[in-house]
């Protein structure tokens, strides 16, 4: 039993880098500390505890983690500093040597954070507590409140895919998950707390069921029955795991939104082979075609990596043409970053930083074209928007079912409310459509 008296009236700050899954897990760490008596530090207040949840998807991510740690140590002198997350798991020794760091927790330890805090006295040197990747077994549940409107439900962790460019399986361990019953219980709790929307998060969520003998489709069907949740969004799912039955179910569901995020990574089959991805462009194109057949207005986001080893100029052009012909809405473009210990380092052809930048800019321009064309098709339509709180003096925004960002005049009473809005023209930044709120008798 942990003596929590030392934590009473202590304050903490949290800093998260990386993916939605990290933000979800930081929220759970915050909840653990709150239940032990720790409150979140107010703006400008010096904290007693600093928690940094790190990312390591690229070398730049590692650098940002180090910068964040240095900054927090300076801003909160004397605070007990805890570092966890993917960078902490992959480079625990390096992180422990950073001045001011007290404890480094790996993937298996972060859920038991309290037992590593001791009496909160600073350590002369940082201590690292990690488990080797093959021995990471635990699944730490998390259903975090991103804001009053949206919750992030962690349904799965780890990955068994070992793509040639990726360190995530080493940082997160093998694929594992909680049970459907536990996910439903967390969704019901989110509804009880006023949540209207849940985003399903994980490392490879389509792989759900490895440790419970269930399937992701079973999970989707069970969550669809939870009363009180208006909307679910599937955050990211591998194309080979996005089955036709899932697509068809979403098309019929009232709660699962016509919104998909599907990693492509390259539109060239030769590069996909070098990446050790588990599909080809024909399969990917068939998934997009299937979605659009049953949900013509579905929003489809796509991850693409540019400049990976082996991506010649001809291969990139092939990829660009393929992506250009896809009926997708938005591209999330990443420049390839070399990661120690990955198989990609054995590939000879190296793309220069300048060429990576040029390729990235071309794809980002293509993304803007596709997104704006998608938005433009909906101008003049009346759609239901879930409104989100915004800063005073700025337009209030929310999203349609198919993830079109809509701006309306600020009205705090609309926070977390579903309202009918007539979609108008683009805002000045071309990042949202201006909306006119309709009364019930105008719909």
* CATH classification of the domain holding 49: 3.40.50.280
Out of 79, 105, 130, pick the residue that ends a domain.
Answer: 130
Residue 135 included in any domain: no
pLDDT at 269: 98
Same domain, 90 and 234: no
Residue 314 included in any domain: yes
Residue 251 included in any domain: yes
Same domain, 352 and 394: no
Encoding tokens for residue 230? 């208006």
- Cα torsion through 89, 94, 98, 104, rounded to 10: 30
Encoding tokens for residue 149? 């409107």
Same domain, 265 and 164: yes
- Within 13 Å and on the Cβ side, how many CA atoms surround 106? 24
What confidence tens digit (pLDDT) does each residue in 289-319 have?
Answer: 999 999 999 999 999 999 999 999 999 999 9
* CATH classification of the domain holding 420: 2.40.50.140
Q: What is the pLDDT along the chain (443 residues), one digit of tens a residue?
A: 677 888 999 999 999 999 889 988 998 899 999 999 999 999 999 999 999 999 998 889 999 999 999 999 999 999 999 999 999 999 999 999 999 999 999 999 998 999 999 999 999 999 999 999 888 988 988 888 766 678 999 999 999 999 999 999 999 999 999 999 999 999 999 999 999 999 999 999 999 999 999 999 999 999 999 999 999 999 999 999 999 999 999 999 999 999 999 999 999 999 999 999 999 999 999 999 999 999 999 999 999 999 999 999 999 999 999 999 999 999 999 999 999 999 999 999 999 999 999 999 999 999 999 999 999 999 999 999 999 988 888 899 999 999 999 999 999 899 999 999 999 999 999 999 999 999 765 65
Residue 351 included in any domain: yes
Out of 76, 99, 130, pick the residue that ends a domain.
Answer: 130
What confidence tens digit (pLDDT) does each residue in 42-94 have?
Answer: 999 999 999 999 999 888 999 999 999 999 999 999 999 999 999 999 999 99
Same domain, 45 and 114: yes
Out of 80, 108, 130, pick the residue that ends a domain.
Answer: 130
Residue 219 included in any domain: yes
Residue 442 included in any domain: no
Residue 441 included in any domain: no
Residue in the structure block whose two tokens are 């420049």? 335
Same domain, 235 and 302: yes
**33 lies in which domain range?**
3-130
Same domain, 77 and 163: no
Instruction: Please tell me the total count of domains within the chain.
Output: 3
Same domain, 353 and 399: no
Same domain, 24 and 113: yes
Same domain, 270 and 363: yes
CA distances from 165 to 57, 170, 276 (A): 10, 12, 9
Same domain, 208 and 343: yes
Same domain, 71 and 12: yes
d(CA 17, CA 41): 19
Residue 440 included in any domain: no
Same domain, 165 and 68: no
């Amino acid at each position: 039993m942990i003596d929590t008296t030392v934590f009473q009236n202590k304050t903490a700050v949290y800093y998260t880098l990386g993916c939605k899954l990290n933000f979800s897990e930081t929220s759970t760490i915050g909840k653990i500390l709150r239940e032990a008596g720790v409150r979140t530090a107010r703006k400008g207040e010096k904290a007693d505890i600093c928690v940094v949840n790190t990312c390591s998807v690229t070398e730049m991510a590692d650098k940002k983690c180090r910068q964040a740690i240095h900054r927090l140590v300076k801003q909160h002198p004397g605070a007990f500093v805890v570092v966890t997350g993917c960078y902490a798991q992959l480079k625990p020794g390096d992180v422990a040597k950073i001045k001011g760091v007290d404890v480094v927790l790996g993937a298996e330890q972060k859920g038991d954070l309290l037992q590593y805090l001791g009496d909160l006295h600073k350590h002369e040197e940082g201590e690292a507590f990690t488990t080797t990747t093959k021995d990471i077994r635990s699944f730490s549940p998390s259903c975090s409140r991103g804001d009053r409107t949206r919750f992030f439900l962690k349904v799965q962790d780890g990955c068994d895919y070992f793509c040639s460019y990726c360190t995530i399986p080493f940082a997160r361990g093998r694929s594992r998950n909680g049970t459907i019953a536990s996910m439903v219980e967390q969704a019901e709790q989110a509804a009880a707390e006023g949540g209207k929307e849940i985003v399903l998060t994980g490392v490879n969520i389509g792989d759900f069921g490895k440790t419970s003998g269930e399937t992701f489709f079973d999970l989707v069907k069970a969550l669809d029955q939870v009363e009180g949740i208006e909307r679910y969004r599937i955050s990211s799912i591998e194309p080979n795991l996005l089955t036709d039955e899932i697509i068809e179910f979403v098309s019929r569901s009232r709660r699962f939104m016509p919104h998909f995020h599907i990693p492509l990574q390259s539109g060239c089959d030769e590069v996909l082979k070098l990446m050790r991805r588990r599909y080809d462009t024909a399969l990917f194109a068939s998934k997009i075609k299937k979605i659009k057949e049953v949900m013509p207005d579905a929003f489809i986001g796509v991850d693409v990596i540019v400049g990976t080893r082996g991506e010649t100029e001809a291969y990139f052009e092939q990829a660009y043409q393929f992506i250009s012909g896809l009926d997708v809405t938005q591209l999330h473009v990443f420049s390839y970053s070399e990661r120690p210990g990955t198989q990609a380092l054995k590939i000879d052809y190296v793309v220069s930083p300048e060429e990576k930048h040029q390729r990235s800019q071309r794809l980002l321009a293509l993304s803007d074209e596709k997104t704006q064309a998608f938005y433009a098709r909906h101008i003049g339509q009346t759609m239901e928007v879930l409104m989100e709180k915004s800063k005073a003096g700025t337009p209030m925004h929310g999203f349609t079912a198919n993830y079109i960002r809509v701006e309306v005049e600020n009205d705090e009473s609309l926070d977390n409310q579903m309202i009918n809005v007539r979609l108008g023209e683009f805002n000045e930044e071309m990042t949202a459509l201006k909306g006119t709120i309709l009364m019930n008798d105008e719909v």
